[in-house]
Amino acid sequence: MGLRSENLRMVGKLVVVAAGMFAFGYTLIPVYRAICEVTGINILSRSEREVPGNGLAGSAAQNLAKNTQVDQSRTITVQFDANARGPWRFKPAQTSIQVHPGELATVMYEFQNAQDRRMTAQAIPSYAPRQAAPHFNKLECFCFNQYTLDPGEKRDWPVTFVIDPRLSKDVTTITLSYTFFEVGGKSAAAPRGGVPEGGA
């Protein structure tokens, strides 16, 4: 009899532990989201919608732009910087703009291959101050993709972005800087008779 009652007590304890684990797992995601809201960390929602190298996925980008509230009470200066590691021309069409948090903005970057050969390059972005990076949501960006340009070819690339209104009020200026560098081996020089086929 004693052994049977001990077994029943053990089963009861295991049922309570299993129910507690289920409840913990069920409430974990809402609790995590609440913590993200309070602290301003938005890792979960960014990972759900971000596409590496291209900013946000199409539908997520549209929803973000559509649902974001524009904070008219704040103005942030966004400065644009371009660094080219190689003999080519790379610059923003504007050096800076002023935007409200939550406002959709687009800036063009200009690139020209100033060499006599085809080349492939890509850009890597960086932000200052660093705390602004998680709040700088790019909806369209040329960064991280590789582009091949023929000799003398020019390209204009857009950067469309929204600054999250949860950005600290201490931040009034953000610098978006791109470093553009050649990747892979050097391509052969273009023939003097014209541009070779197969360019980007």
Say which CATH number the domain at 147 has. 2.60.370.10
CB contact at 8 A, 147 and 52: no
Residue 108 resides in a domain: yes
**Any idea which of 78-82, 109-113, 194-198 has the lowest mean pLDDT?**
194-198
- 61: part of which helix (H) or strand (E)? helix 58-67
Residue 43's pLDDT is 37
Residue 110's pLDDT is 92
What's the domain count of the chain?
1
111: which residues sit within 8 A by CB, 6+ positions away? 88, 89, 90, 147, 149, 154, 155, 156, 157, 180
Give residue 122's domain range.
63-182
Q: How many helices and strands, by DSSP H and E, does the chain display?
A: 3, 11
Residue 106's pLDDT is 95
**Residue 188 pLDDT more than 50?**
no
- 48: part of which helix (H) or strand (E)? helix 43-49
- Percent of the chain whose predicted confidence (pLDDT) is above 90: 36
Residue 129 resides in a domain: yes
pLDDT confidence tier of residue 94, bands split at 50, 70 and 90: very high
* CA 182 from centre of chain: 22
Residue 24 resides in a domain: no
Residue 191 resides in a domain: no
- 43: part of which helix (H) or strand (E)? helix 43-49
Average pLDDT on 151-170 reads 93
> Rounded to 5 degrees, what angle do the CA atoms 52, 53, 57 make?
60
In this structure, the dihedral spanned by the alpha carbons of residues 25, 26, 28 and 30, taken in order and rounded to 10 degrees, is: 170
**Residue 187 pLDDT more than 90?**
no
Top mean-pLDDT range of 12-21, 61-70, 106-115 = 106-115
Residue 168 resides in a domain: yes
For 21-74, write each residue's pLDDT tens digit: 656 555 555 554 555 444 444 433 333 334 434 444 455 555 555 555 889 999
